[in-house]
Structure 1
Amino acid sequence: MSFRGHALIWHSMAPKWLENEDSQTMRKSIVDHITNVLNHYKGKIDTWDVVNEAIDDSSNGNGWKLRNSFLYKKNKDFIDLSFKTARKVDPNVKLFYNDYNTEGIYGKSESVYQFVADMKKRNIPIDGVGIQYHVSVQKQPQLSKITNLIGKYCKLGLEVHITELDVSCQGACNTGNERSKQGEVFSNALKACLSNSCCTGFLVWGVGD
């Protein structure tokens, strides 16, 4: 059985003492945390979301903007540092960047692609991208768009995981029409994944849908 680890570095849910550290102390904390966690789970977890949700929501496809989090304010290279540290500690584990609004609906989808492509260009060790896929029956990606988007990551030599799929409804999801629409969104997500050989993971966000 394969296991994914989520997430090593995230601006949210962080302890206050980390937020209050100075730049150099925070760098050491990042390195120590990644080192300790990866060593503890070495050989048990196949894939890690190294950094989660670092691209700002205002990114519209014309380049990207990093979220102005405490991590970025004090260490603008924290993403590079995190991925390099993870690769050094465990060369065999797969390293992913994970984010939301990356399903081809919003401009942020293209920004995340550009950001990851830049990481590859700069030889930052990254193996894949997690597309969270929090959508609704009213706001869902076109099958062709999400299929093509995953294909673009394939061409970069990266894997893709759909990591947090859930589909909300405008009203109650237990009505026949809404449930049918919800099922169509799930079906299209799976079709897009299966249409691309680099899409190697498909995870749902809970069991309520």
Structure 2
Amino acid sequence: MKPSRRETLALLAGSAATVLAGPAQARAEPTLSEAARGAGIVFGTSIAADTLADPAQATLYRREAGIFTVDYALKFGALRPEADQFLTADADAILAFAGPIPVRGHTLAWNESRPDWLMALSTAEKRKALDRHVDETVGYYAGKLHSWDVVNEPFWPGHGLPGGFRDGPWLEAFGEGYVERAFRRTAAADPNVRLVLNEAMTERWDETGAAIRAGLLKLVDRLQDRGVRLDVVGLQGHMLPQYPYDDNGFSDFVAELATRRVDIYITELDIDDARFPRDVAARDAMVAARYRDFLSAVLVVPAVKMVITWQLADSASWYYHGELEAHPSASRLPRPLPFNDHLQPKPARDAMLAAFGSRRA
């Protein structure tokens, strides 16, 4: 007889001490969560519902992470693929699995999560859809989440719009005011949840990164000037090797953000190794060096309170799945995360431990 969801979750929780028995569990060094806590920060990972179906992966995530971000189950299109649907089962299962581990909600207002039915609405109907989505979703999870990425990726200069804003249904419905509206409604629906403005590509040291950084500073200032509660600015940290980086310059930007009296979270950290050597050892060493250099620079800023990788094991990464979708027989698979596809630690994990240790020192 097939076990129920509740029985499956109980089995996963109860097996945490035994599933990963072997070399990975026998390591004397601290977990990533323990090392981060020693440095005065929280370490976590994104997590998807399919993680729960793999007991070994579930145990790894529970062991190493001090917080979870719901990967995609709370995005608008996942919750509401049709206008009359509100599909919470996957996110509910993640919360049940997490138990005492806090969970972050991701994300309420993102212009890229736009099912066809939403785009077919009139402007007035889109306005009602955002209000309903925020009120209903935040209300449903009120008191259950640590924080919400209220607005995700508000900027994309490539769309050529005033202020560099990202085009999409919410910008079309409200203009730039959708950001303030989403924050105010989230705060009203759950006064105790932490409110996060989450942005991508701020670490890129090119014209695009510079435009996004400038726009983000102006947006934070505008929200605060208007009395909007903003607790955290999230900076994603998807490292793409085709773009230039200046870790010290980025650290200065993070310090400038911190003068706005907000906490800083690194929310979606991973390293795309697509342009690194094919040799696994050489590639892993370059990925590890990127984690070490980036985190060592960023963690100098006291306002950085959290570091979250976008998934924890290579086989769960969006890069990994994307490569297999495009090339089902690919032999060179991405290795962007601290654990490999067999859930064993890689040099990237050691680099992260070292970076956490340097902040503690």
TM range (shorter): 0.7 to 0.9
Paired residues of 2:247 and 2:294 also in contact (CA < 8 A): yes
- The total of aligned residue pairs comes to 207
Q: Are 1:5 and 2:96 counterparts?
A: no
Q: In structure 2, which of residues 176, 179, 183 is the aligned counterpart of residue 79 of structure 1?
A: 179
1:29-78 CA distances to partner (integer Å, 9 max, x unpaired)?
21111111112212211111111112123499xx9321222321222121
1:95-141 CA distances to partner (integer Å, 9 max, x unpaired)?
11112111152212232222222222222222111111111345353
Distance in 2, matches of 1:2 and 1:132, equals 19
Distance in 2, matches of 1:59 and 1:114, equals 18
Distance in 1, matches of 2:251 and 2:278, equals 26
Distance in 2, matches of 1:59 and 1:96, equals 23
Question: Which residue does 2:129 correspond to in 1?
Answer: 29
Q: Are 1:200 and 2:305 counterparts?
A: yes
Q: TM-score, structure 1 length as denominator? A: 0.88
Q: TM-score, structure 2 length as denominator? A: 0.53
Structure 1 residues 158 and 193 mapped into 2: Cα distance closer, same or farther (>3 Å)? same
Aligned-pair CA distance for 1:6: 0.4
Distance in 1, matches of 2:196 and 2:147, equals 7
Give unmatched runs, 5+ long, in structure 2. 1-100, 315-335, 337-361
Structure 1 residues 123 and 104 mapped into 2: Cα distance closer, same or farther (>3 Å)? farther
Q: In structure 2, which of residues 180, 188, 211 is the aligned counterpart of residue 88 of structure 1?
A: 188
1:178-193 matches, cutoff 5 A: 178-193=283-298
Which secondary structure does the structure 1 equivalent of 2:192 belong to?
coil
Q: Are 1:151 and 2:231 counterparts?
A: no
Q: Greater strand percent: which structure?
A: 1
Q: Are 1:117 and 2:221 counterparts?
A: yes
Aligned-pair CA distance for 1:172: 4.4
Letter in 1 for 2:139: N
Distance in 1, matches of 2:278 and 2:302, equals 32
Question: Which residue does 1:176 correspond to in 2?
Answer: 281
Paired residues of 1:104 and 1:110 also in contact (CA < 8 A): no
Structure 1 residues 2 and 116 mapped into 2: Cα distance closer, same or farther (>3 Å)? same
Aligned-pair CA distance for 1:23: 2.4
* More displaced 10-residue stretch of structure 1: 151-160 or 95-104: 95-104
Aligned-pair CA distance for 1:185: 1.5
Q: Greater helix percent: which structure?
A: 2
* More displaced 10-residue stretch of structure 1: 111-120 or 51-60: 51-60
Question: Which residue does 1:57 correspond to in 2?
Answer: 157
CA RMSD of aligned residues (A): 2.2
Aligned-pair CA distance for 1:82: 0.6
Which secondary structure does the structure 1 equivalent of 2:234 belong to?
strand
Aligned-pair CA distance for 1:166: 1.2
Letter in 2 for 1:186: Y
Percent identity, please.
23
Q: Are 1:17 and 2:17 counterparts?
A: no
Structure 1 residues 177 and 110 mapped into 2: Cα distance closer, same or farther (>3 Å)? farther
* More displaced 10-residue stretch of structure 1: 40-49 or 180-189: 180-189
Which secondary structure does the structure 2 equivalent of 1:165 belong to?
strand
| The structure with more radius of gyration | 2
